[in-house]
Structure 1
């Protein structure tokens, strides 16, 4: 009717309507040449340009030299003092440009009338929807979880403050870059509940745990409360040698500092600590941080191999050294670790005979394979580990004192898990992430009550026990659910929040519910096992769970 082309963009500079050349890229965000639209949205004022290449607002436009527009007229669409978009008329030849130039006020009045019609429609939609959009916006912005709102084309329309914090991005940056969200593991849409996603933000990537919810033509990406501390970058940078050492307690920070100081030394290191504290993990970290990191790291458990076999494994043998020997002989682990690191786990279980031979290797820096008359020079660093008391073993003539001093040049003591204040929760989240990936299931949440129970436990098996427990929990938790206190094994005791006064069941004033609670509590105190309690009471375990929650009991 006006013999002009028209274009409509929303407040995020996404083209939602257009004629002529603007009808080909609907739903796409405008590029850097949208200076006029930005001006109108920011100032909330109409703008007319009748000489596009000479108007100051067009200076610096990336499309300045190739612009085909001869004139432009844009009007803001205002709703409750907010600019929700722009309606514009555009000319592409001199005749159309003159039409805009000669009818500026007429066109402004007409387009303002059109924009008011849009406002009326939006207001009616809000009224008919009982202001649900505003309610949902306030709800999303005040949620404790991070939320991204996407349209049906996977464009991000909004991110609440929690989501922006997780993604380490500002709201203005989010509006300017392309965002893509893809599941980390292929699963044919069979998984329900939170799972790991790769969120691509321009050139950067983040690993985020969350799930999609489809509502009408919108998608909500609801992020889990805990996010693994993992970022994916385009650069293939080597991992830190301490990347597998999880812990920020004072003892762990001191230990990491000490390792950084001694790792590059060729001196022997003896790692002591309880079973399951992660001695081999620390030995590998020392090797990776040393000057030998490009060479072999050879590990052997001295307690897991019989004495005769351990000797041939360590020192190797030549052809015909003994019955059953390989015809070509075998290179021992000491030689295999030449120029690298040899890790001897459970060194306290090595026989006295082998201790003497190992001492000779350390003193002479050469190894003689079984059945050979010639020694081979070796350049190795020895890291050994034990959970035994060497002072008692030396006193009982079970370990050579001279070998002990050779091995214990640099002593490292690994604290037990119960001594590492604040590290249990970090390790729980680390193992949740690792085991859920290994199993191929979605990343589960975990309740604060479970964390408190794990913190209160004494962990006789240390980190190995914690890892096994988390793997068990990841296997049994229903997909999409949180790990609840009821899933913990029965040996985890949760303290009661308050003490309940004893009531006699024979009291006539006691209700049936109170009698039931007392009976259950008595069974728990005697048996301490949910299955046994349920069996004694003659009810199913699921029924027992409901009653435990009802009476706020734990078992």
Structure 2
């Protein structure tokens, strides 16, 4: 019999099937649907997430065919297939491709798992990966069947099926309850975290996104706190009734362990090099002081990031942080921007006057970037503000008291400017009460991988795309580049790479500009041999062959490749390897 008390075997484990279907859709990036032998929809994503538990009233021809023949069916152009010719819903059908696989329990077909495309992109994914998708579905479906058959003997059958599904996934999965306590992790997840199953009960695990995203993206980078250490992983959260699932991506970033940072503001200053650690320590000590700070560093090193962090750490954090680039604005305009003006103060002035940025920053922080480019006239007026703690708008005779902390920044040599008479020495001493030197990126050993991962997450979030991952070769080359434009140059390069990398491909050496080619690793990173003009399947086959020759053990090969043993067996069969 295919039913038990009029309820199908699949319906009895519907919550598990729903979770499985949602994960399947996310992993393969197409919609998925599961129906039982009675043509009742057990689970579905996208438009098929509605009307669960109801029998299909239309569009069931393909499912009937698979249930009767017990054979899988792939259709790339649905409306052109013979099976769709007499369908009453043919003209209203939005499906562009279909891949259906029977769920077989011995000689019986107890249901169908299908992948469905509704646009050209998803259609192409099914077309290009039909054999791989089919193998993947069959593999996981068999674990469902195995547990269905033994369910009567297991009082906790639902949990057993759920855990078995997760254990047979090639991707790392953490199961968490609603208070974020980790209840279970499969072997790929434990490998990614360098933990054992017993460790999960001993340490506190917290997961937070590296960059706060308004949109929940696939493959978002997360910082996972493991007791006193933190690591970076790519993955996504999914809600599932009383549990949350954290599904890890196949490709994980190659980077050092992140230093544990208890302060949320300091965690925004990306870096763990000696120089950055020293600056973070100094920032915490000077944050509450009202004294002026002068940040010196090359262009693009992130001086405004440091200034903003000092403001957030101070008791002025709830008040304004006003930033202005003194080199980007002409002198006359800069004066009116800083000091403000009254009605009719000069030709073209607003009839209502204007509040200057110094006054707008009252009780907060004023950040003056590239202060070394300010004219001598404005320097004299700024000095008056710092000494008297009051500002006089242009066209006014009335001084307005202000309570501000000034943080300034420059990439210029003040000793040289003062010697040439281009900067007031008395103003310099007013600004340079607390000096901070921000090192160039080339001197920040170990910080490039952290910054690369941060900018990949940031620009993926801004562009609304999935995290592509970065190869070891690329990370090595970026780490050994001199970065004349510092952090700003690195950010711009990562944004460029995110824009040009094809979907599903990692950021590899092929996408880097020519000036990085000479930095390609030789011994430090095991680079694959030249594969110009070679397909991805040939590259994959070569990688598996190489691992087999070196390791001679299938379990070790699977671990090195970051895939499950079942996936390795499928690939060995696919490529005809022993």
Superposition TM-score, scaled by structure 2 size:
0.53
**Structure 1: distance between partners of 2:381 and 2:455:** 40
Q: How does 1:387-466 map to 2 (within 5 A)?
A: 387-466=411-490
How big is the shift at 1:199?
3.6
Aligned to 1:273: 297
Aligned to 2:496: 472
How big is the shift at 1:29?
8.2
Aligned to 2:237: 198
User: CA 1:323–1:138 in structure 2 vs 1: closer, same or farther (change >3 Å)?
Assistant: closer
Secondary structure, aligned partner of 2:285: helix
Residue-pair matches, total = 354
Aligned to 2:229: none
Aligned to 2:397: 373
User: CA 1:204–1:167 in structure 2 vs 1: closer, same or farther (change >3 Å)?
Assistant: farther
Secondary structure, aligned partner of 1:197: strand
Aligned to 1:292: 316
**Structure 1: distance between partners of 2:309 and 2:482:** 26
Q: How does 1:45-60 map to 2 (within 5 A)?
A: none
Which of the pair has more CA radius of gyration?
1
Could you list the per-position Cα deviations for residues 315-338 of structure 1 after superposition, in whole angstroms to 9, with x for gaps in the alignment? 001111101111111000000000
Could you list the per-position Cα deviations for residues 480-509 of structure 1 after superposition, in whole angstroms to 9, with x for gaps in the alignment? 1111111100111225738xxxxxxxxxxx
Structure 2 stretches lacking a partner, 5+ long = 17-145, 151-163, 176-181, 202-212, 219-232, 524-529, 540-578
Q: How does 1:255-274 map to 2 (within 5 A)?
A: 255-274=279-298
User: CA 1:452–1:172 in structure 2 vs 1: closer, same or farther (change >3 Å)?
Assistant: closer
Matched, 1:146 2:185: no
Aligned to 2:514: 490
Secondary structure, aligned partner of 1:473: helix
How big is the shift at 1:437?
1.1
**Structure 2: distance between partners of 1:208 and 1:252:** 32
How big is the shift at 1:160?
2.8
Could you list the per-position Cα deviations for residues 182-205 of structure 1 after superposition, in whole angstroms to 9, with x for gaps in the alignment? x995799xxxxx985224488886
User: CA 1:225–1:320 in structure 2 vs 1: closer, same or farther (change >3 Å)?
Assistant: closer
Matched, 1:348 2:372: yes
- Which is richer in helix? 2
Secondary structure, aligned partner of 2:13: coil
User: CA 1:422–1:17 in structure 2 vs 1: closer, same or farther (change >3 Å)?
Assistant: farther
Aligned to 2:186: 160
**Structure 1: distance between partners of 2:254 and 2:273:** 20
Superposition TM-score, scaled by structure 1 size:
0.55
Aligned to 2:12: 26
How big is the shift at 1:543?
6.1
User: CA 1:439–1:417 in structure 2 vs 1: closer, same or farther (change >3 Å)?
Assistant: same
How big is the shift at 1:166?
5.7
Aligned to 2:204: none
**Structure 1: distance between partners of 2:507 and 2:365:** 40
Structure 1 stretches lacking a partner, 5+ long = 1-15, 31-117, 123-135, 150-155, 176-182, 189-193, 211-221, 231-237, 499-519, 521-540, 550-555
**Structure 2: distance between partners of 1:417 and 1:373:** 47
Secondary structure, aligned partner of 1:445: coil
